[in-house]
Amino acid sequence: MTGFVSNSIVEQIRSTSDIVEVIEEHVPLKKSGKNFVGLCPFHSEKTPSFSVSSEKQIYHCFGCGEGGNVFSFLMKFSNVSFPEAVTKIGKRYGITVPTEVHGSRGKSLYSSQADKKEKYFSVNRLAAQYFQQNLFKGCGKPAQDYLHKRNISSDSVKKFQVGYSSKSWDFLLTHFRKKNVAFKDLEKIGLVISKGSGTGYYDRFRDRIIFPIIGLDSKIRGFGGRDISHNEKTPKYINSPESVIYNKSEILFGFNIAKESIRKKGFVVIVEGYFDLISLYQHGFENVLATCGTALTTRHAGLIKRYTNNVVLLFDSDEAGYKAAARGFEILLEYGLNVKAVDLPKNMDPDTFINRFGLAQLSEKIDKSELFIEYLANKIVGKVDLNSLEEKLRGLSTIIPYLAKIKNSIELSEYIRKISELFQVSQQSLQDQVKKKLETKKTTIDSNVEVKTKKKVSDWSERNLVRLTILHPENIEKVKRKIDSDHFSDGILKEAIEFIFDMNIPTEELSPQKIVELIPIEEVRKNITELLMETIEFDNPDKVLEDCIQSILKKAKQKDVENLIKQRIEAVNSKKVVEFQKLDKDLKDLQGV
Ligand SMILES: [Zn+2]
């Protein structure tokens, strides 16, 4: 379903629905203090770290960082779009949702958010076109040669919209200046980077082959770039950073092209690189997706599950590829997908393999691919001296956590049989080990899932300023008058406050859960739900808010002073008298001397 749901209906459903009721239909919850807790549906855990607040109508998982309101829960849990989630919850509460055609309402909030996204999409489209044209200009010759060397056909170049970004620092900037696109917008989607000095921008992608990263809806979300400068110091590959329109955890390269074929063939092959995917495609494998430097996430798994239950991992046959496959397997297993893996000859990637041995040989490899657990067991057993009990046990301890995740008991006993043979241990003893694993309270599997590393301690006053502004939206105007987002030192909180400042919604229409819902960047949203779940309560929140403002201003001023002092020293060292005098005056003004 596409289209937009009218604001008033969303509003009505938001205020009628109860997040605890909706989540409880899918996740058993227990009351704990002011909140409800349960086992997180988005990562594997045995002690509950998934909290739901009935008062704030939001949820947050302290294990994996997931968070949001009732709509975002259903979107993530059932893999549905925003209008679909709204409709489902509406139905539960007896509210029918008529959808409207885009643009039929004036400047509603959702359409203005959507407009913004559309604008970014069109900028990306222009950029992609420009990169493509550039590939065929004189300066694109080395890029063409490189593609030729890698056996990439001109049909593939067209199909995947491959392009080239020049060596220049302002190739795109100049282009977009002519088109009157604001540089700030280019920065927001990661095409350009702001210079450290704060004056001006430069291109992110320079002297690279460019692959547009395209969503299932065929819109360009971001770009990947392969360096061809042969400069040792530059990374081989870079990708666009996450933005309002690009969320790495939900985009896989090639999905827009592969989806039909995945459905038809009944399985998907996952590779690691752009060139792997395109090479396979050229040889007739169309049901292929590439991770391109991103670890597989539960969101990816959910998207794949919409098209098939069968996944074949075709990763590089080196240590890094094997580790990435093992991590990916775990996520896919959680989602109940059947995962197989292909074992390529040592130190080979799919691109090299298919170019050397051709389609038939790779097809055979894929047909004969092993279930992932066997692949894993074979890899491990190859490194273990089976005469040493200690080594045997160490090898098995790597496999047991995976076995413990298999829910189907027939499947499990089959694996136990095979693996016990492989490792030459009795079936019974292996079974006991798996059982023990299942019983142990402390789960070691969790560490492999995408658990966020412990949050760095961000500034207390910045955290509480954001928290109090969201909990009491009537403060927004006051805070906006006194503080500039540039005063923030924490990047995520800065994004959050910028968003809050730019919302332009009457405060009486705002609630914490609505703000959470509107925050477009997932990373920011997760941080906010975590902040909001904190149970600290202040006797005098107005006073705390004022203290936070003062503390942030003081720190920002201190930073300015330090910067000026540094610059003044530099001016003295390089004997720039006029500049020194100016800096000295600025400094005195700032210090109020
Ligand atoms: Zn979680």
* Euclidean distance between CA atoms 32 and 513, whole angstroms: 20
For 347-375, what is the mean pLDDT?
Answer: 93
SS3 track for 340-377: EECCCCCCCCHHHHHHHHHHHHHHHHHHCCEEHHHHHH
The tens digit of pLDDT for each residue in 511-548 reads: 999 999 888 788 889 999 999 988 777 888 889 999 99
Residue 38 CA to ligand 1 center (angstroms) comes to 10
Comparison of pLDDT for 222 and 231, the residue scoring more: 222
Residue 67 CA to ligand 1 center (angstroms) comes to 9
Comparison of pLDDT for 283 and 82, the residue scoring more: 283
DSSP characters over 498-530: HHHHH----GGG--HHHHHHH---HHHHHHHHH
Would you say residue 73 has pLDDT above 90? yes
Residue 398 CA to ligand 1 center (angstroms) comes to 23
Q: Tokens standing for 461?
A: 């006053």
The answer regarding whether domain 375-448 maps to CATH 1.20.50 reads yes
Residue 86 CA to ligand 1 center (angstroms) comes to 23
| Position 281, amino acid | Y
Its CATH architecture, for the domain 460-572, is: Orthogonal Bundle (1.10)
Instruction: List, in order, residues 6 or more apart from 592 with CB less than 8 Å away.
Output: none
- CATH class, range 4-100: alpha beta
At 454, is the pLDDT very low, low, confident or very high (cuts 50, 70, 90)?
very low
Superfamily name and number for 109-246: DNA primase, catalytic core, N-terminal domain (3.90.980.10)
Starting at the edge strand that comes first in sequence, how are the strands of the sheet with 237-239 ordered? 163-165, 208-214, 220-227, 237-239
Contact (CB, 8 A) for 396 and 433: yes
Would you say residue 108 has pLDDT above 50? no
Residue 383 CA to ligand 1 center (angstroms) comes to 34
pLDDT value of position 99: 62
Would you say residue 445 has pLDDT above 60? no
Residue 62 CA to ligand 1 center (angstroms) comes to 7
* Euclidean distance between CA atoms 26 and 45, whole angstroms: 16
Would you say residue 100 has pLDDT above 60? no
376-385 contacts, C-beta under 8 A, 24 or more apart = 376/326, 376/329, 376/341, 376/402, 377/418, 377/419, 377/422, 377/423, 378/343, 378/422, 379/322, 379/343, 381/422, 381/423, 384/423
pLDDT value of position 18: 94
Residues forming a β-bridge with 371: 340
pLDDT value of position 63: 87
For 383-400, what is the mean pLDDT?
Answer: 87
Phi, psi of 253 (to 5 degrees): -65, 130
Would you say residue 310 has pLDDT above 50? yes
For 348-360, what is the mean pLDDT?
Answer: 94
Contact (CB, 8 A) for 276 and 234: no
Comparison of pLDDT for 59 and 579, the residue scoring more: 59
* Euclidean distance between CA atoms 296 and 450, whole angstroms: 9
Tokens 């509480």 belong to which residue?
Answer: 464
Q: Tell me the CA distances in angstroms from 256 to 218, 289, 394, 451, 491, one per residue in order.
A: 6, 9, 42, 29, 32
Would you say residue 106 has pLDDT above 90? no
Residue 483 CA to ligand 1 center (angstroms) comes to 34
Residue 326 CA to ligand 1 center (angstroms) comes to 20
DSSP characters over 256-274: HHHHHHHHHHT-EEEESSH
How does strand 288-290 pair with strand 268-271? parallel
The tens digit of pLDDT for each residue in 161-188 reads: 999 999 999 999 999 999 889 999 999 9
* Euclidean distance between CA atoms 291 and 297, whole angstroms: 10
pLDDT value of position 114: 66
Residue 45 CA to ligand 1 center (angstroms) comes to 8
Q: Identify the top-confidence range among 6-15, 163-172, 428-437.
A: 163-172
Residue 297 CA to ligand 1 center (angstroms) comes to 12
255 three-state secondary structure: helix
Would you say residue 588 has pLDDT above 70? yes
Contact (CB, 8 A) for 314 and 364: no
Residues forming a β-bridge with 38: 50
For 68-75, what is the mean pLDDT?
Answer: 93
For 377-406, what is the mean pLDDT?
Answer: 86
Residue 49 CA to ligand 1 center (angstroms) comes to 7
* Mean pLDDT across the chain: 86
Residue 281 CA to ligand 1 center (angstroms) comes to 36
For 313-341, what is the mean pLDDT?
Answer: 85
Residue 334 CA to ligand 1 center (angstroms) comes to 13
CATH among 3.40.50.720, 3.40.1360.10, 3.30.559.10, 3.90.1150.10 for 255-368: 3.40.1360.10
Q: How many Cα atoms sit within 13 Å of 274 on the Cβ side?
A: 25
Residue 137 CA to ligand 1 center (angstroms) comes to 49
Contact (CB, 8 A) for 307 and 262: yes
Domain range list for the chain: 4-100, 109-246, 255-368, 375-448, 460-572
Q: Tokens standing for 536?
A: 């600290």
Which candidate, 5, 220, 162, 150, places its Cα nearest to that of 91?
A: 5
Residue 65 CA to ligand 1 center (angstroms) comes to 6
For 408-418, what is the mean pLDDT?
Answer: 86
Phi, psi of 353 (to 5 degrees): -60, -50
* Euclidean distance between CA atoms 554 and 564, whole angstroms: 15
Residue 60 CA to ligand 1 center (angstroms) comes to 8
Which candidate, 339, 308, 342, 301, places its Cα nearest to that of 450?
A: 301
Residue 450 CA to ligand 1 center (angstroms) comes to 9
Would you say residue 112 has pLDDT above 70? no
Would you say residue 126 has pLDDT above 60? yes
* Euclidean distance between CA atoms 90 and 80, whole angstroms: 14
17-20 contacts, C-beta under 8 A, 24 or more apart = 17/70, 17/89, 17/92, 17/93, 18/54, 18/57, 18/70, 19/52, 19/53, 19/54, 19/57, 19/58, 19/59, 19/69, 19/70, 19/73, 19/513, 20/52, 20/54
Residues forming a β-bridge with 147: none
Query: pTM score, two decimals?
Result: 0.60
Please measure the distance between the N-terminal and C-terminal CA atoms of the chain and give it in whole angstroms. Answer: 63
For 4-30, what is the mean pLDDT?
Answer: 89
Q: Tokens standing for 181?
A: 């696109």
* Euclidean distance between CA atoms 314 and 333, whole angstroms: 16
Work out the percent of the chain whose per-residue pLDDT is above 90: 46
Residue 299 CA to ligand 1 center (angstroms) comes to 13
Work out the percent of the chain whose per-residue pLDDT is above 70: 93
